[in-house]
Structure formats: structure tokens, C-alpha cells
Amino acid sequence: MLDPQVKKIVDAINQSGSPEYCDMSVEEARQAHNEKASLLGEPFVDMCSVTDISIPGDAGPITTRLYQPCAEPAACIIFYHGGGHVIGSLDSYDTLCRQLAHQSGCMLSSVDYRLAPEHRFPPAVDDAFAAFCWFVEHGHEVGANANRLIIAGDSAGGNLAAVVAILARDADLPCALHQLLVYPATAAYPDSASQLEFAADHVLTIRLILWFHQHYLDYQDHTDVRWGPLLTEDLTNLPSATLILAECDPLRDEGIAYARRLAEAGNDTTLKVFSGTTHPFFSWSGAVDKARDAVTFASQQIRMATQRP
């Protein structure tokens, strides 16, 4: 059963008559997402500074937006936005990133990775990992400590954050303090029970998920662990993890499965499923109490990670 505040939003979306993103062109979907993204977020939070900088990537510069809190930052969060690797932008996640930086007391870097279909898999992964590597090697130039990095993201961004944690381990880079994964995409194929149960009428539909996949992936990419981290055989020696999931979300079961795999591999793992919520409730903290609670919980988990010896 949907939380009453969530149900009000979901009903409004379902009754609006507006087309799903998958019934639009990519450009129309991106524009619509940018226009709607901040409507249900928390009020705008001032930062000490917000600056767009350019960092090198394999295929050219990558823009990242730095949010600096006024107090000495406890760590630096490297954040990857959601949007199915097709939509989403620095601007559409601006309000949420300000909240996370403000509540966690951390600097935050929001990474503008390349999107599909202009850049099909794996450029998004390449950019995400390049950003992490830059902060390891050059983060001191902007006040970040290579040994005090947090990896975070929601949905497609949660997928990238999970993959970056694995790639960093395999490259013998300094281990991040923590990974925050908000309803991450982790499975190779959309065939779980939650995918079937919430296939329609819960904002993120199977039609939309398949539309994202069609733009992002080729057939052979579905067996690549950089797309489906659940396929990774060895999940040992990864950063401690917090997974925040929505109960009424097609991605719920693969998130639970990934949390279980992380814990079984010996990683400190916290899983919290918010009842009666849907994808993408984490961005609705201006209208939904459970969304506000989720952002606060995420920030508290980050604070706890920065305080560990």
C-alpha cells in the first residue's frame, strides 16, 4: 500500500495524461525531467560556494559541480545522478545535492557523465571512474582528501557508484569511506518479482526501464559487470555501504539482492527499505515525509562513516 503522500503524487502523475518519457524523444524527455525535477524537492539551501569545474576524462573534459559547505568538510561525496543513463543533469539534481552536502557536512561533487544514446555503454562508467580517480590524485586542489571520499548515487547513478567501488578496488586505489546506493540498478536483466509486481502505474515502469536499456546497452553489454554489478563474482573488500530502497519499486529486489551479496562478502552493509514509497521518492523531500527522512538517514550514514577511525 502506498504512503498517502506518495499516493497523492503517483495518482496525479497517472491521471495527468502526460506521456511517459519513453513516449517522448530523448531531448523532450530531458527537458521535461529538468523542468519537473525540483518541483517536489526541499527548499533551496545556500552553500558557501557552488562552482562548476572541468576535470580530464578519456574522451575530453568532464564537468563536475562542487558544493562547498561553509564549515570544514568532513569528507567529499562524489555523486552520480539518476535518469537511466539517458536523462538527468547537474541542474535537475541541484536541490538534492545541496541537501546532501548541507546535512552531511561534506563537500559534494556532482558528476556530469556522458549520457546515452549519444554515448552508449560504457562511457558513463568511464566518466564516473575517471572522476573518482581525479579526486584520488588531484582532489587536494579543491580541498578534498583522497582518503576521505564517499561514493553516492541514485538509480542509474547508484549503478555507477556501485561499479566505481568495484573498479577502484580492482585498481588498488584508496578505498572510499562509504558507498551510498539509492535504489540502484544492479541486475543484468529486468526479471525480478518486484519488476513484475510494479511494472506499471508506479512512476518507473517496465516500459520506461526498457526504453532506458535500449538507448544505453547493446545485447552483449547485459553480461558486463560494469552494467550488472550483481554479476560480479568477488564483492569482498569494498567500502561500507548504505542501500536505500523504495518498497513499491521495480528495482527493489535487485537492491535487496545486492545488499545481501555485499553483506555475505563481509562488507559492513546497511539496508533500509522505505515502506509505501516508489521510485524516485528520494527526490521528493519537499512533499513527502518519508523522502525527507530518507535524505536525513542517508546524511547520517555518511556522517557516521566519516567518524570511523
* Helical ranges in the chain per DSSP H: 4-15, 26-36, 94-104, 123-138, 156-170, 193-197, 206-216, 252-264, 289-307
Q: Which domain holds residue 55?
A: 4-307
pLDDT of residue 90: 97
Where residue 41 sits, what CATH number does that domain have? Answer: 3.40.50.1820
pLDDT of residue 38: 80
**From the centroid of its chain, how far is CA 167?**
17
**Span 68-84, mean pLDDT?**
95
Other beta carbons within 10 angstroms of residue 212's beta carbon come to 23
**Span 37-42, mean pLDDT?**
84
Quick check: 309 pLDDT over 80? no
Quick check: 255 pLDDT over 80? yes
Catalytic residue among 3, 94, 154, 249: 249
pLDDT of residue 190: 76
For the beta sheet containing 178-182, the strands, ordered from the edge strand earlier in sequence to the opposite edge, are 49-55, 62-68, 107-111, 76-80, 149-154, 178-182, 241-246, 269-274
**Span 24-51, mean pLDDT?**
92
pLDDT, averaged across the chain: 96
Quick check: 308 pLDDT over 90? no
**Span 214-222, mean pLDDT?**
95
Residue 111, amino acid: V
Cell digits of residue 127: 566518466
pLDDT of residue 189: 82
pLDDT of residue 223: 94
Catalytic residue among 279, 283, 285, 299: 279
Distances 76 to 73, 106, 186, 273 between C-alpha atoms, Å: 7, 5, 24, 25
Quick check: 186 pLDDT over 80? yes
Catalytic residue among 92, 155, 283, 285: 155
Quick check: 73 pLDDT over 80? yes
CA–CA distance, 285 with 6 (Å, rounded to integer): 11
**Span 132-149, mean pLDDT?**
96
Active site residue 279: yes
Q: Find the range with the poorest average confidence among 20-29, 173-182, 188-197.
A: 188-197
**Span 26-31, mean pLDDT?**
98
Active site residue 215: no
Quick check: 167 pLDDT over 90? yes
Distances 158 to 155, 227, 299 between C-alpha atoms, Å: 5, 11, 16
The total domain count for the chain is: 1
**Span 26-41, mean pLDDT?**
92
| Percentage of the chain lying above the pLDDT 70 cut | 100
Single pTM value for the model: 0.97
Closest Cα to residue 79, out of 187, 157, 140, 144?
A: 157
Active site residue 221: no
Q: Is 62 helix (H, G, I), strand (E, B) or coil?
A: strand
Given pLDDT bands bounded at 50, 70 and 90, which one contains residue 191?
confident
pLDDT of residue 172: 97
pLDDT of residue 44: 80
